[in-house]
Amino acid sequence: MSRAYNFAAGPAALPEPVLRQVQAELLEWDGVRASVAEISHRSPEFMRVATEAEADLRRLLSIPGDYAVLFLSGGATTQQALVALNFAAPGQVADYVVSGHWGKVAIKQAKDYVRANVAASGEAGGFRDIPQAAEWKLSKDAAYVHMTANETIHGVEFRPEWGALPETGDVPLVADFSSSIASEPLDVSRYGVVYAGAQKNLGPVGVTVVIVRRDLLERAGQPRADIFNYASHANAGSMLNTPPSFNWYLAGLVFKWMLAEGGVEEFARRSAEKARLLYAAIDGSDGFYRNEVAPGVRSRMNVPFFLRDDALTAAFLAGAKDAGLLALKGHRVLGGIRASLYNAMPVDGVRALADFMQDFRKRHG
């Protein structure tokens, strides 16, 4: 067996120690003489998995006690609709800051339930920058303000260099953290809702984490089936229906691995080093490679870049694959190359990519 460095944007690489543990436990788990994928989600054994996963995630992200933690199916896109249904009255205005493709998708999912006000958008500039907070046109009576912390496709991220988020008063800030959660410390108390698909930094595809301030669960929202009600999921311990139990178990193992590795502080250090290595390889190439994102909002997680001669892109991708560097093809929206540097990507993987980029440039520059 020869595992390569997997730069996929999602489903993304998982930590190898976690995969090996899953492999060892797959047929018979924890002495129950069956796989964890086969046992009841209400069994005492799985209830322990669920309890430990929540406790570990709370520790990892320093989640305050007045926030509920939900483990749900449906992905981040489903949450974009559920946020509107749960926290806005029918036709109420909701503010959206659109920093890339997924910000636009968030509006698409919610537009039948709210009056979506585009408070700020980077689309006119090709989503290469994020409008400064002073430019945001926020509504006084908004149900919430929605933002996307990191745009997986366009490679823009809210960074300290960009500045501070605006104070929204009694209007809760709702944030999609799917592609950057747990990559650095997060002040959860700054947000009313944080949601994230697990398949980038937290675990496998199929389970989504929703962190919601408990007082928001008391909002009436809009008419909806009970299965779409966050409060009902919270009251049922995320077991209102059969949850994605195997995915939940696997995510729990990732949480334990991250804690053992040093927690979000250590992954913040690694993320900074990986981003520095890759951006240095791009910026130091005399234009052979280019990243078009404004420096102050460059993503640490997803780095799109382009070759000076687009005709070389196919050769670059083929050569990278032969060198054991996988899933570098850019998203169809942008084309080019995209490297995703999530928590499971080791620093050595980014060094290998930077070395390949230098060698490719020497041969084709």
Let me know if 200 is a catalytic residue. Answer: yes
Which candidate in 102, 136, 248, 257 is catalytic?
102
CA separation for the pair 197, 79 (Å, rounded): 9
Cα three-residue angle 61-129-175, rounded to 5 degrees: 30
For residue 246, the one-letter residue type is F
Which candidate in 200, 248, 274, 329 is catalytic?
200
Let me know if 102 is a catalytic residue. Answer: yes
Reduced 3-state DSSP string for 183-222: CCCCCHHHCCEEEEECCCCCCCCCCEEEEEEHHHHHCCCC
Cα three-residue angle 237-90-208, rounded to 5 degrees: 30
CA separation for the pair 72, 23 (Å, rounded): 24
Contact of 119 with 139, CB cutoff 8 Å? yes
CA atoms within 13 A on the CB side of 23: 7
Q: Which of 263, 316, 262 is nearest to 289 (CA)?
A: 316
CA separation for the pair 247, 182 (Å, rounded): 17
Q: Which of 148, 149, 146 is nearest to 172 (CA)?
A: 146
CA separation for the pair 63, 57 (Å, rounded): 8
Contact of 277 with 193, CB cutoff 8 Å? no
CA separation for the pair 285, 362 (Å, rounded): 10
Helix axes 245-261, 44-61, angle to 10 degrees: 40
Which candidate in 129, 176, 248, 329 is catalytic?
176
User: Which two three-digit tokens encode residue 251?
Assistant: 């995510």
| Active site amino acids | 102, 176, 200
